[in-house]
Amino acid sequence: MDQILEQAIQALRQSRQIAVLTGAGVSKESGIPTFRDAIDGLWSRYDPTQLATPQAFRANPKLVWDFYEYRRQLMRPAQPNPGHVALAGLQQRYPTLRIITQNVDNLHERAGSTDVIRLHGSIAHNKCFFNCQGDPTPVDISQIEWDRDSGPPPCPYCGRWVRPAVVWFGEMLPRPMLLRALDLVTNCDLLLVVGTSGMVSPSSEMPAEAKARGALVIEINPDTSMISHLADLRLSAPSGVALPQLLNALTA
Ligand code: APR
C-alpha cells in the first residue's frame, strides 16, 4: 500500500487536470445509508421500483414523497467525513479539480467542494413534477404551508405535485450534467474514482472514457469493483483514510 500510495502522490503532483468520480462509498464513513440500506425496516416490503420511478410517484405520490422524507430524515444527522474534507482540500490545491458524484447527499458541498457535478441530483432539493416553468422547475418547500398528511406539497406555480429533485430509475440524467461530466473525464490527465461499485451507467463507463484518452485512473475502494480492472493504481482502503493521506503528503 505504501508504495502504491507513493506512486499515487507522484501522479497527483504531476497532474495538470484532475477529475474525481465518487459513489456511495465516499459517504459510508458519514453513516449515510445507501438507497439499498433505506429499503429496510418499514420500507422493506417495497421494491425500489415502487418508490423511485415517475410511474410509482404518479400511482402513489404520498408513498413516494414519504419515502424520500424518511431518507432525508436518515441523512440529516450525517456530517462530511475526512474523505469529503480531503477532496475539498485537494480542490483548494488544484482549483480546476472537479468532482462528479452519483450521490444525492450534498456532503461534498457541505465539506466545501464547489461546482460539484451531481449526476443523480440532490435529495435536499425539490422541483415541480411537471417542470411547469421549464426543466427543471426548482421549488423551495420551506416557503410552502401544506397538509403533510396529504402527501407532496403543491407546486407554487401550477398547484400540482412537487417531487424530490433526484434522478429516478428509468429517468435520463440531466443532460447538462452528463455533458459536463463527459467533458471533464475526457479532458483530464488523472481520474480519481472513489467509492463506487461501477455498476450503474453512464458513470460506470466514465473511467474507460478517461483511460481511452490517456488519463491515469486511480481507484480508492476497500473492495474491488467493476472498474478495478481499469485502474492503473488501486488504494485498497476506506476513502476517509486514503484521501487525507494523499492530501497530507501533497501539502507537507
Ligand atoms: N470508502 C470507499 N469506498 C467504499 C467504502 C469506503 N469507506 N465503503 C464501501 N465502499 C465501496 C464499496 O466497496 C462499493 O464498491 O463503495 C461502493 C459503493 O457501491 P454502491 O453502493 O453500488 O454505490 P454506487 O456505486 O454509488 O451506486 C451507484 O446506484 O443505488 C444506485 O443511484 C444509486 O447512485 C447510486 C448508484
Identify the residue whose cell numbers are 430509475.
169
Specify the ligand 1 atom closest to the Cα of 203.
28
- 109 vs 22: CA distance, rounded Å: 13
- 137 vs 146: CA distance, rounded Å: 19
> Any bridge partners for residue 192, and if so which?
20, 218
- Of 41-45, 63-67, 77-81, 92-96, where does mean pLDDT reach its minimum? 41-45
Q: Sort 236 into a burial class: Cβ within 10 Å, 0-12 / 13-18 / 19+.
A: middle
Residues lining ligand 1, CB < 6 A?
A: 23-26, 28-29, 34-35, 102, 120, 195-197, 199-200, 220-223, 225, 238-240
Model pLDDT for residues 98-110, shown as the tens digit of each residue: 999 999 999 999 9
Q: Is the pLDDT of residue 34 over 70?
A: no
Grid cell listed for 77: 444527522
Q: Are 106 and 78 in contact (CB under 8 A)?
A: no
Grid cell listed for 101: 458524484
- 153 vs 141: CA distance, rounded Å: 7
Grid cell listed for 60: 402513489
- 113 vs 91: CA distance, rounded Å: 7
Q: Sort 243 into a burial class: Cβ within 10 Å, 0-12 / 13-18 / 19+.
A: buried
Query: CATH class for domain 1-31+80-120+173-252?
Result: alpha beta
Same fold, 1-31+80-120+173-252 and 33-77+121-166: no
Give this prediction's pTM: 0.92
* From the candidate CATH numbers 3.30.1600.10, 3.40.50.2300, 3.40.50.1390, 3.40.50.170, the one assigned to the domain spanning 33-77+121-166: 3.30.1600.10
- 118 vs 102: CA distance, rounded Å: 6
C-alpha 161 to ligand 1 mean position (Å) = 31
The residues that are catalytic are 120
Every domain of the chain and the residues it spans: 1-31+80-120+173-252, 33-77+121-166
Specify the ligand 1 atom closest to the Cα of 242.
1
Grid cell listed for 249: 503528503
Model pLDDT for residues 123-137, shown as the tens digit of each residue: 999 999 999 999 999
Structure confidence at residue 148 (pLDDT)? 92
Q: Is the pLDDT of residue 35 over 80?
A: no
